[in-house]
């Protein structure tokens, strides 16, 4: 019933969107593969909703083209683009039942009553609301209402499903449950899905590929695994991961990366200034490492996050399972294993290709901080 054309790729070609003088999206090119779940991730105001609304046809492009399934759609009405959208504020009609809410668009489109009932029942089954068809929105929980909004989009059998922060009004447990249901729904119906969020956990768990947006530009568009392990810029490195990746100014010479005061921080072959990145969970205690002071500790149950002060005053965060109450000395020595280091260009913030962890040698992986 809910079979969709799962091959409707979305092409964004030289897409520009300005409101007045200011370009919110200054020129964006990307291919969203058919049948994939793409998450658009970025901070508030970076243009996520604007981009989604352009795909939906709710905003006119200032320049550029959009293709869906190879067909140019930028001049087409939203209703002719064979897509459906779930908004952040999923207003349901309070006086209509769940079934009437889900079926409303079909009714407007003139679908006959028998077919409508069958499609509504199927969509409700997909979001596990089959037993709630006669209820009104006021008699549902927030998560159930959210699922009505999703069913209302799905029932139209779109080639493309667009979601704008659809889970942001839910509590942590419901968000978790709904993430699982959305992933399952996607697996079943296979529509090309584009999901906007500023929540990195949603992005990491739902996406086939994540498009990280910063001021209307793509910082990186890749799998969650690549985004996490091979961030293309300091922006991506700092945006993904909790606590955020440490980013420290260093200078490399003679196989060593040093802080401004000359302190040797890590072994590395890079020469010249760079921004060194290391995830807090990959900073490790080492008897022969750098002496640091613990200036702050956050106990989070399973692990603790320590704020460390390096000899020159630079702060470094370390996530550790060793953080049981009283389990750590106030002074500690740590190492930054060479294999775990990321290096970025201090001017552009872009990853230095010659210095990604994957290119480190076996020997370097075993090097500790030289003195």
Ligand X SMILES: Nc1ncnc2c1ncn2[C@@H]1O[C@H](COP(=O)(O)OP(=O)(O)OP(=O)(O)O)[C@@H](O)[C@H]1O
Q: What is the DSSP letter of 88?
A: S
Point out which span in 11-19, 48-56, 71-79, 174-182 binds Mg ion (CB under 5 A).
Answer: 48-56
Residue 247 CB, nearest approach to ligand X (Å):
23
State the Cα–Cα distance between residues 193 and 32, nearest whole angstrom: 9
Residue closer to ligand X (CB basis): 45 or 273: 45
State the Cα–Cα distance between residues 278 and 248, nearest whole angstrom: 9
Which tokens go with 293? 């002071």
Tell me which of 2, 8, 24, 54 binds ligand X, using CB under 6 A: 24
Tell me which of 14, 19, 118, 130 binds ligand X, using CB under 6 A: 19
Tokens 């996520």 correspond to: 48
Q: In sequence order, what DSSP letters do the residues of 314-371 get, joined into one string?
A: -EEEEEETT-STT-S-SEEEEE--GGG-EEE-TTT-BBPGGGSGGG--HHHHH-----
307 and 317 Cβ atoms separated by less than 8 Å: yes
Point out which span in 48-56, 170-178, 274-282, 315-323 binds ligand X (CB under 6 A).
Answer: 48-56
Would you count residue 200 as binding ligand X (CB under 6 A)? Answer: no
Tokens 């020469």 correspond to: 271
Residue closer to ligand X (CB basis): 45 or 291: 45
Residue closer to ligand X (CB basis): 50 or 192: 50
Binding mask 282-301 for ligand X (x = CB under 6 A): --------------------
Point out which span in 38-46, 136-144, 228-236, 339-347 binds ligand X (CB under 6 A).
Answer: 38-46
Residue closer to Mg ion (CB basis): 116 or 198: 198
The count of residues interacting with ligand X (CB under 6 A) is 11
Point out which span in 44-52, 133-141, 200-208, 363-371 binds ligand X (CB under 6 A).
Answer: 44-52
Residue 48 CB, nearest approach to Mg ion (Å):
5
Tell me which of 45, 130, 262, 291 binds ligand X, using CB under 6 A: 45
Which tokens go with 312? 């020159």
> In whole angstroms, how far apart are CA 178 and each of 124, 186, 248?
15, 12, 37
Which tokens go with 2? 């809910």
Residue closer to ligand X (CB basis): 54 or 102: 54
> In whole angstroms, how far apart are CA 142 and each of 127, 147, 148, 210?
14, 9, 10, 27
Q: Which of residues 218-277 bind Mg ion (CB under 5 A)?
A: none
- Give ∠ CA 323-327-328 in degrees, rounded to 5: 80
Q: Which of residues 314-333 bind ligand X (CB under 6 A)?
A: none
Would you count residue 198 as binding ligand X (CB under 6 A)? Answer: yes
Tell me which of 49, 233, 263, 320 binds Mg ion, using CB under 5 A: 49
Residue 45 CB, nearest approach to ligand X (Å):
4
Neighbours of 6 (CB within 10 A): 13
Q: How far apart are the first and last CA of the chain?
A: 67
Q: Which one of Mg ion, ligand X, none is in contact with 24 (Cβ closer than 5 to 8 A by kind)?
A: ligand X
State the Cα–Cα distance between residues 208 and 283, nearest whole angstrom: 29
Residues in contact with Mg ion by the rule CB under 5 A? 49
Q: Which residues bind ligand X (CB under 6 A)?
A: 19, 24, 42, 44-50, 198
């Amino acid at each position: 019933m809910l079979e969709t054309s799962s091959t409707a790729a979305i092409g964004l070609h030289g897409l520009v969107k300005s409101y007045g003088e200011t370009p919110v999206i200054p020129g964006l090119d990307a291919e969203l593969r058919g049948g994939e779940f793409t998450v658009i991730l970025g901070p508030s105001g970076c243009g996520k909703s604007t981009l989604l609304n352009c795909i939906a046809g709710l905003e006119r492009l200032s320049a550029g083209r959009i293709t869906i399934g190879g067909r140019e759609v930028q001049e087409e009405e939203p209703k002719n683009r064979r897509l459906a959208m779930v908004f952040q504020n999923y207003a349901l009609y309070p006086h209509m039942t769940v079934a009437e809410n889900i079926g409303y668009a079909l009714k407007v489109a003139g679908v006959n009553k028998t077919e409508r009932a069958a499609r509504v029942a199927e969509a409700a089954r997909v979001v596990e609301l089959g037993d709630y068809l006669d209820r009104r929105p006021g008699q549902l929980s927030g998560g159930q209402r959210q699922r009505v909004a999703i069913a209302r989009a799905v029932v139209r059998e779109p080639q493309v499903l667009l979601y704008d922060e659809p889970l942001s009004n839910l509590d942590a447990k419901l968000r978790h449950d709904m993430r699982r249901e959305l992933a399952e729904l996607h697996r079943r119906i296979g529509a090309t899905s584009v999901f906007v969020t500023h929540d990195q956990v949603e992005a990491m768990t739902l996406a086939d590929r994540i498009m990280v947006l910063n001021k209307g530009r793509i910082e990186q568009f890749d799998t969650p695994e690549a985004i996490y392990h091979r961030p293309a810029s300091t922006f991506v490195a700092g945006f993904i991961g909790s606590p955020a990746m440490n980013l420290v100014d260093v200078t490399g010479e003679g196989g060593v990366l040093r802080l401004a005061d000359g302190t040797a921080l890590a072994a590395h072959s890079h020469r010249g200034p760079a921004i060194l990145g290391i995830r807090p969970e990959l900073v490790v205690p080492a008897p022969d490492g750098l002496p640091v002071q613990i200036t702050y500790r956050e106990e989070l149950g399973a692990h603790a996050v320590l704020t460390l002060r390096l000899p020159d005053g630079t702060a470094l965060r370390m996530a550790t399972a060793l953080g049981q109450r009283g389990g750590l000395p106030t002074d500690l020595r740590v190492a930054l294993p060479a294999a775990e280091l990321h290096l970025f260009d201090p001017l552009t913030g872009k990853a230095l290709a010659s210095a990604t962890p994957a290119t480190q040698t076996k020997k370097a992986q075993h090097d500790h901080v030289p003195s």
